[in-house]
Amino acid sequence: MEDLKSLDLNELTSLVTELGEKRYRAKQIYRSLHKNMVDSIDDLKNLPKAFRERLKSNAYISRFKIASKLESKIDDTKKYLFELEDGHIIETVFMKYKHGNTVCISTQVGCKMGCSFCASTKRGLVRNLTAGELLNQIYCIQKDLNERISNIVLMGSGEPLDNYDNVKKFLEIINDEEGQNISYRHITLSTCGLIEEIYELADLGKPINLAISLHNPFNIERKKIMPTANKYSVKSIIEACHYYAKKTGRRISFEYTLISGENDSKKHAEELARISSGFNCHVNLIPLNTVKEYDKVKSNLRAIKEFKRILDSRGINSTIRRELGSDINAACGQLRIDFMSEREKLAR
Ligand code: SAH
């Protein structure tokens, strides 16, 4: 059975014509799914009833259950745990910024990248999310809150470039005029640096913002916290960034999680400034979120400010990320693990 929500317009047209209907029906279905965010075949009211029945024996529309929803009392951040149709749990975060409502989506159930400070990867990769499941995170929140979402960041659990085909389809559908029509300029994809896919994404020529999880400018040290660094050197990542910036005209951002005593020294700031100079980029300084499985702590405010001062003095733009939703554990992957451990305890 096909999930209609995961099909692009071409695939939907093939399905509709195979079922003996006119091509324009595909566009009707596509609009209902992606513009009106319809969640069941019975609600595709502009289709003849007989066709709806035929469709039901060949396809379905995937949906989520809201397993839990946490609302921050400090800011307007909301964190959703969605239960997928096969029972897996994913996290999605809604944030209110001055420049618009932003949703941070997960791209995989779990993750296999193995970064030592990240909770999402601690139980490995379970599976990729389908295009329909990527879209559904936006649709569900938009309907639940009755708020328009204008910005998307692919920075939740999972590595988006390790799920390239589904992510690519998601980007096209979410940007489509017949769907939510969210501008590529308002979408940011964050990666730990899978080079081949960065080049592929660049060659699509879409003005999507690219964020690179760098966390350390020195190869030897980066390998200690990010296993992918064994395959992709800092130098090759920077080269790919130059290519991306040139091809898309977009600024690159570097995510830099500050870990006390690990990567927050003067020498780190200077090397980071050196490799980021000469092209359009920006550094996002993120105080480490403490996770149970990693015993390091975030840099103190003085160290963070000094790190930023060094970048400033060398002409590198940077910002210190505000910690939204700190009262609801809004950081990567932590809630999902807590929820699953709780569920496992109950099942015992
Ligand atoms: N796999 C992608 C996207 C998901 S992680 C990537 O690596 O970019 C999103 C961001 O959160 C990354 O920059 C990641 O390094 C960071 N992150 C993960 N765990 C963190 C923690 N405990 N504290 C601060 N940032 C963290």
What is the distance in A from the centroid of ligand 1 to the CA of 191? 9
Is a pLDDT exceeding 70 seen at residue 338? no
In the prediction, which pLDDT does 334 show? Answer: 61
Is a pLDDT exceeding 80 seen at residue 322? no
Confidence of residue 10 (pLDDT cuts 50, 70, 90): very high
Altogether, the residues listed in the chain come to a count of: 348
104 in contact with ligand 1, CB cutoff 6 A: no
- Alpha-carbon distance values, 147 to 71, 155, 156, 188, 325 (Å): 15, 21, 20, 20, 18
Q: Which residues pair with 256 in a beta bridge?
A: 285
Ligand 1 atom at minimum distance from 117 CA: 22
Q: Determine contact, residues 258/285, Cβ cutoff 8 Å.
A: yes
Q: What is the pTM of this model?
A: 0.95
- Would residue 197 show up in a list of annotated catalytic residues for this protein? no
- Would residue 293 show up in a list of annotated catalytic residues for this protein? no
259 in contact with ligand 1, CB cutoff 6 A: no
Is a pLDDT exceeding 80 seen at residue 332? no
Q: Determine contact, residues 211/191, Cβ cutoff 8 Å.
A: yes
In the prediction, which pLDDT does 335 show? Answer: 62
What is the distance in A from the centroid of ligand 1 to the CA of 90? 15
Give the residue-averaged pLDDT of 245-271. 96
Residues 285-319 pLDDT 10s: 999 988 888 999 999 999 999 999 999 999 999 99
Residues 70-86 pLDDT 10s: 998 888 899 999 999 99
In the prediction, which pLDDT does 99 show? Answer: 85
Which residue type does 235 have?
K
Residues 186-207 pLDDT 10s: 999 999 999 999 999 999 999 9
In the prediction, which pLDDT does 327 show? Answer: 73
Pocket of ligand 1, candidates 93, 187, 190: which has the most ligand atoms within 8 Å of its Cβ, to mutate? 190
155 in contact with ligand 1, CB cutoff 6 A: yes
- Cα–Cα distance measured from residue 318 to residue 240, given in angstroms and rounded to the nearest whole number: 20
Pocket of ligand 1, candidates 102, 128, 257: which has the most ligand atoms within 8 Å of its Cβ, to mutate? 257
